[in-house]
Structure 1
Amino acid sequence: MTDRIIYHMCRADEWERALSSGSYPGSSQDAADGFIHFSTASQVRESAAKHRAGQDGLVLLTVDGDALAAALRWEPSRGGQLFPHLYAALPVPAVLRADPLPLGPDGVHLFPPSFPTSPEDIVP
């Protein structure tokens, strides 16, 4: 896979701890699975709806996948799609930005205005 930009959702307090320590070890679910879950721009909205439904206080991490080297693997998951999985802690310098991911009035996460909204906006 060659998608350079990948995304991860985590609690804001987890991200704050990562900023202090220099790396993000993943959530408790990531630890149980043995890797940190990521999504591409075209996958992350569905991932939010499926795995983070109703959760407030989240941030969306925009990550440079190229900075993760061999620890990042693309593996089949939901519907046979390839998802990026990180088999190491996420180094803070690989994170390009962290944006709040609040819930809208309908309970659906509100992605940042700069986030791609259609396949044509997604740059691999």
Structure 2
Amino acid sequence: MTPELIYKIAPAALWREAQAAGRFDGAPVDLTDGYIHFSTAAQARETAAKHFAGQDDLLLIAVDPGALGQALRWEPSRGGALFPHLYAPLGLDAVRWVRPLPLSADGRHAFPEPSFGENPT
């Protein structure tokens, strides 16, 4: 089952460059790996903590996976979990929204709502 949205965490300056170019080619790690890394809502908090700890001026970019076609692949990563990887530039037409991802007082990133990424019980 494909999630409704997948997420990219990116520095605001890099996203402004993407907006000017009309597409997002990826962050340096994406360019090195050959694909754009995304996370599901359930994976995004861990991604922020593991790869963006202490970084401010970040954005959370919500993307419609259905708009990415066959260039989007679900591949095993952390502990065998499947992560969405895009083997093409991200067209801005697939972006549904962009929100700031600031650091909270405890040093963790403050996601848009308290339940973001949590599994329903």
* 1:17 corresponds to: 17
Q: CA deviation at 1:114?
A: 7.7
Deviations 1:16-41 (A, max 9, x none): 11111110011001111111000001
Give me the CA root mean square deviation: 1.5
> Match for residue 98 of structure 2?
98
C-alpha displacement at 1:3, in angstroms?
A: 1.6
Structure 2 SS opposite 1:106: coil
Count of residue pairs brought into register by the alignment:
121
Q: 1:71 to 1:97 in 2, by over 3 A?
A: same
* Unaligned runs of at least 5 residues, structure 2: none
1:118 and 2:118 aligned: yes
CA contact (8 A) 2:11 2:57 kept: yes
TM-score, normalised by the number of residues in structure 1: 0.92
Q: Which residue of 1 aligns with 2:34?
A: 34
- Aligned pairs for 1:49-64 (under 5 A) are 49-64=49-64
CA deviation after TM superposition for structure 1 residue 113, in Å = 2.5
- Aligned AA for 2:111? F
Moved over 2 A (4+): 113-118
1:65 aligns with 2:83: no
